[in-house]
A and B are shown apart, each in its own frame.
Chain A
Amino acid sequence: MMKVKLFAQIREVTGTESLEMAVPDDATIEGVRQALMAKGPQWQQALSANVLCACNQTLCDGTMVVSEQDEVAFFPPVTGG
């Protein structure tokens, strides 16, 4: 199972900090985002805005191919400092 982590607004709106999901062999990050958005209106709302993604704790784009061993994260644009 692939581990997904959510942060900030996305974590709050979905009420989910992390989850595990099965993914097909050729899954992309964008595919994972679409699958999560299909979970309900909150998910749709949280993940349809400007969202950054990371695979194994490195920023990446939606075309990145992921497997069940990966840790994927979705979060809003960062606002530290």
Chain B
Amino acid sequence: MFARVSEADFSQQALYDELCLNNQASQSGAVVTFTGRVRDYNAEGAIDGIELEYYPGMTESALQQLLAQATTRFGLTNAGIVHRVGRLPNQAQIVWVGTCAAHRQDAFSAASYIMDMLKQSVPIWKKEWAGDTSTWVAAKGTDNEAAMRWLTDDKDD
């Protein structure tokens, strides 16, 4: 498992190769990867990129913890997260999640779970730039609902 916070861009191929290294297809027949990118607009109009702030130390451990939870919940054979911070232009890659499982359903569900829970529990904050003005992004109700669905499932288990 690997969880990283980085200012530098990443290569999806390199991360996929790292995820699959020493992870035979006999155990990990399914690999799902997700990449999030910077949209060039928000509800008000065009934007000129974003800036991401984080809590050094806590952010990395929250990402590690999230991978451990997903591994237990979905029986993953490996998983990784890379989240970028700092100033990012439109179209740039922001986040990458990779999950390995014996079968595809667990790998898909785990990737979805990691993204939903990341948006709820990992200390990272996003600011949008438009020209010289910047606005902090408000937490979305729909993100909260997405995370709550998994937590409600826990109670039903």
Contact = CB atoms under 8 A, between A and B. Distances in A.
Contacts of B53: 7-8, 11
A54 interface: yes
B120 A8 contact: no
Size bin of chain A's contact surface: 10 to 19
Classify chain B: how many residues form its interface, as a range: 20 to 34
B47 to A, nearest CB: 14
Contact of B123 (A7, A9, A11): A7
Contacts of A58: 58
B16 interface: no
A55 B46 CA distance: 38
A57 B61 contact: yes
A21 interface: no
B139 interface: yes
Given A8-B53, A9-B136, A78 B58 contact: no
Interface string B90-109: 00001100000000000000
B118 A8 contact: no
B88 interface: no
Given A7-B123, A81-B119, A57 B139 contact: no
Contacts of A24: none
A78 B123 contact: yes
A79 B126 contact: yes
A59 B55 contact: no
Nearest to B97: A81
B138 A79 contact: yes
Interface in A1-20: 5, 7-9, 11
B123 A75 contact: yes
A11 B127 CA distance: 13
